[in-house]
Chains A and B, each alone.
Chain A
Amino acid sequence: MNKVITVTVNGVQQVLEVEPRTLLVHMIREILNLTGTHIGCDTSSCGACTILLDGKSVKSCTILAVQANGKSITTIEGISTEGELNPIQEGFKENHGLHCGFCTPGMIMRITELLKDNPDPTEEEIRWGISGNLCRCTGYNNIVKAVLYASAKMRGVPTASTEPEFV
């Protein structure tokens, strides 16, 4: 028996009919066609599917769509208007924090919560803070740099140079 749920997705309330077993990530991708949220594994290991559920970063492959009933969901498509980059997105672009881009939306959603909880994190805190998100391409150096950049920008302090530290 399908269930009817009400969710607020990127600020817009939606009433959806889903199978009780539907994973939240599949609801987001296949029913709402918000394909910026990715799937990279089947064991809750990679974080590519990370979204915000009532402001908390969660792996949407690990939650049933029905569990989101009455809650609010933010995906990568909802964090900035098209044509503009928010400070985290800008940090990624300025610091080459992405290669293939597949992990990027999940990373950004995780970092969104990280910076809310801890606006001025150390490198060590950033590394632990994103350790639930795998990136196979970047080697993480530049993701860390992107977070530091975003943190500075959001706190209104000057951002560090984005030039590569190539000696």
Chain B
Amino acid sequence: MIQCKTSKEISGMGHSMKRKEDVRFLHGKGHYIDDLKLPGMLYMDIARSPYAYAKIKNIDISEAMKVPGVVAVVTGKDLEKYNLHWMPTLMSDTQMVLPTDTVMYQAQEVAAVIATSRYAARDGREAVKVEYEVMKPVIDPFKAMHADAPVLRTDKPGKKDNHIWHWEVGDKAKTEKVFKDAEVVVKQDMYIPRIHVSSIETCGCVADYDKVNNHLTMYMTTQAPHAIRTVIALVAGHVGLSEEKIRVVSPDIGGGFGGKVPVYPGYVIAIAVSFLTGKPVKWIEDRSENLQADSFARDYHITAELAGTRAGKIQATRFKVLADHGYTDASANPSKFHTGLFSIATGSYDYDTAYMEADAVYTNKPPGGVAYRCSFRVTEAVHAIERITDRFAFEIGMDPARLRMKNFIKKEDFPWKSPTGWIYDSGDYHAGLKKAMEAIGYDALRKEQIEKRKKGELMGIGISTFTEIVGAGPSKDFDILGIKMFDSAEIRVHPTGKAIARFGTKSQGQGHETTYAQIIAEELGIPAANIQIEEGDTDTAPYGLGTYASRSTPTAGAAAAVAARKLRDKARKIAAYLLEVSEDDLVWETGKFYVKGAPEKSKTIQEIVFAAYTNHPQGMQAGFEATHYYDPPNLTFPSGAYICVVDIDKETGAIHVRRFVAIDDCGHIINPMIVQGQVHGGLTQGIAPAMYEELIYDEDGNILNGTLMDYLVPTAVESPKWETGHVVTPSPHHPIGAKGVGESPTVGSPPAIVNAIVDALSPYGIKHMDIPVTPFKVWKALKEKGVV
């Protein structure tokens, strides 16, 4: 059980407080972007390319302009006049807002139609006639790397190939030596497919430019409103928009998962049109546009290798990655990290030698590479290490749980330096796996498996014991476009002892309105119910880098605790004044200060706050407010031990996930109910790529499953009944010992599922399956082995 220091009335850390934000959603009174209607608002729709690679010979807008209600059609040539036809990506590459001559992927924006109604805009879009000269696209990233591949980015002067960047880390020579001398080497190619965040709300905005005051209010689905404001100021500064005249408002967001971090062309076009017309412009993308053009994730081709001893000791790992970025590098990574935090791929195991390298390449596919519920490529990293570890166990005939137990970094060895340079803050991997094995009944399952195998039945047990790296990040290394990745909290306590707190982050369903209030309640003893939380409005919230990569609790959550502690220091001074004792004679007990040895002499936090406005000591500033910008000293390293049991039908290849136990360690828990909810949701987003989801392109660059009819987001039927639990090793450097949890389950679960499936098929010599593992793939593999 989780120990709580506060009462239920106060609901500080550890209480499963029911969420404060729920009521408005349950009544249908959330404020999502498409709910916003402004007087005189225009609607925008976007004509898109049917081809993956083509020259634009002509765009004929005359018919579109005749459609009743259509007021304008905007093309790349129009934006070019204002030098707004290109924009920078987060990775300092460039991306077309609208093309002037060439389209680079199917569904790319070609022209925007502005009209007085949603339907008129759509009619206008259908009437835009574009003449294309179709070219042969480059779709396969390996072919794109060939010396004779056509160069795609001809807009970049002097560019002679499709290579974007090379990255490497670790000790190459030492790794080679260990591999050369090793008793056992295993090697596996694996593909982590292109997938999509598919939040149920798509992306959209209302750009509202006020010509008289030269002021832009940008309502948009963004996870990082402040960063967006700065980006707009940087990109549109030359047309006279400066940062104090820009307000970005991120309303309620219907799921983000990283897909609402980037700046998509639609946002920029809407701003441009509002700027030119002086009218509010709404753009809401369709689901199909969202799937086909925005925010893909993953798409890593990995070769993983592991060297070890016959006795099962891991000695070194080596990873080689080819990253397909589509036509531009629009990944959402901290600037210095081309491959995000992929270098966490050495995993939870105690060895000191590793080498990793990666190359990125342009193809005729949509740009992206967002951190989909993932701290920047950690999902890819965890998949690689957890799969290759299982391959190793299989190779030497050792139980994968035993092999992991043997190799885990020991609890007492933290802080621990990884072969790629990370300092893991804390963990107890043995305890986590032990708990998961007990919860699922591991030994009994292995016995059952032996019996089943005798009868020719396919049953598999798969494990994933992963280490995450979240909470970007320490400002010495982490920035986005130069802005350091701190985050912020501002707390104002009103005279009657009720508070409002504002943050630089932005919830998209994580429950910040509840959890941040609980952190402050823990520190100040003011009931969480009396603490109002606000995020998402750059005019009122302190600057912050936003919510993604499980960074809110590690950064803004820490800022809340530190700001609250500043207030507690002030409270002590006021209490000393009111009680006429020295500050040192006061003892803090949740919600009040009392005099040492005389507990009846006390002042509650509410009395103290009231005094801060009505009777504060002379010389002290009145009021009760504090702000903190928190720059984390290190990242946090949540971990998990997941075990999955599958049964496979030999005749059809159908896979049934019988059980799935997830034991997570996210440090101190703020709200167990919310943590558990995050884990459930993340697990379903883990089974999705493991068994169902992949964006598939044919060789002409046509997307084959660009709608929710054929892109298989799991329903309640595909989603197993998740079993969850936890161990707690607090982060030693975080003010409340928390680590962040949102993405752990998405990151950690796919390899557990695949390992279980491969384990089931292993008696037939099957050693690997690429995700998504579908019944057809299983059936085919069994057929090849002559089993069906």
Contacts and interface: CB of A to CB of B under 8 A. Distances in A.
Asked if chains A and B come from one complex, the reply is yes
Interface of A: 19, 21-22, 26, 29-30, 33-43, 45-46, 48, 75-77, 80, 82, 85, 89, 92-94, 96, 98-105, 108, 123, 126-128, 130-144, 163-167
Contacts of A167: 435, 439, 663, 723-726
Nearest to A108: B26
A136 B257 contact: yes
Given A93-B19, A166-B672, A100 B509 contact: yes
Given A101-B254, A142-B680, A34 B287 contact: no
Nearest to B1: A166
B202 interface: yes
Given A46-B200, A134-B715, A39 B34 contact: yes
Contacts of A140: 680, 684, 715-716, 719
Which of B24, B25, B32, B254 has the largest number of chain A CB atoms within 10 A? B25
B35 A35 contact: yes
A134 B713 contact: yes
21 contacts: A35-B35, A38-B32, A40-B287, A41-B287, A45-B708, A46-B287, A76-B27, A85-B23, A99-B678, A100-B509, A101-B252, A103-B200, A134-B715, A136-B197, A136-B199, A138-B677, A139-B722, A144-B716, A164-B672, A164-B724, A165-B676
Which of B28, B253, B254, B683 has the largest number of chain A CB atoms within 10 A? B28
A42 B721 contact: no
A128 B718 CA distance: 10
Nearest to A132: B715
Contacts of A36: 27-30
A11 B280 CA distance: 34
Nearest to B507: A100
B287 A82 contact: no
A136 to B, nearest CB: 5
B662 to A, nearest CB: 10
A38 B30 CA distance: 10
Contacts, number: 212
A141 B721 contact: yes
Contacts of B673: 96, 163-164
A98 B22 contact: yes
Which of A42, A75, A89, A99 has the largest number of chain B CB atoms within 10 A? A99
Which of A100, A102, A130, A135 has the largest number of chain B CB atoms within 10 A? A100
Given A38-B32, A43-B288, A43-B708, A139 B26 contact: no
Interface in B415-435: 435
A73 to B, nearest CB: 13
A143 B719 CA distance: 12
B18 interface: yes
Nearest to B680: A139
Interface in B507-522: 508-511
B719 A139 contact: yes
A38 B255 CA distance: 13
Interface string B585-615: 0000000000000000000000000000000
Given A21-B119, A93-B19, A96-B673, A131 B717 contact: yes
Contact of A102 (B29, B255, B511): B255
A30 B558 CA distance: 42
Contacts of A103: 200, 254
B716 A126 contact: yes
Interface string B199-223: 1111000000000000000000000
Question: What 9 pairs between A and B have smallest CB-CB spacing?
Answer: A36-B28, A102-B254, A101-B25, A100-B509, A139-B680, A99-B509, A76-B28, A167-B725, A45-B708
Interface in B1-43: 2, 16, 18-19, 21-30, 32, 34-35, 37
A94 B28 CA distance: 17
B200 A40 contact: yes
A47 B684 CA distance: 18
Contacts of B25: 98, 100-101, 104-105
Given A100-B509, A139-B677, 10 more contacts: A35-B28, A35-B35, A38-B201, A45-B708, A99-B509, A104-B25, A134-B713, A136-B255, A139-B682, A164-B672
Which of A128, A144, A164 has the largest number of chain B CB atoms within 10 A? A164
Contacts of A89: 26-27
A105 B255 contact: no
Contact of B200 (A82, A100, A163): A100
B27 A77 contact: yes
Contacts of A138: 677, 680-681, 684
Contacts of B18: 93-94, 96
Interface in B493-535: 508-511
A42 B511 contact: no
A61 to B, nearest CB: 10
Interface in B704-732: 707-709, 713, 715-717, 719, 721-726
A29 B499 CA distance: 35
B255 A99 contact: yes
B717 A42 contact: no
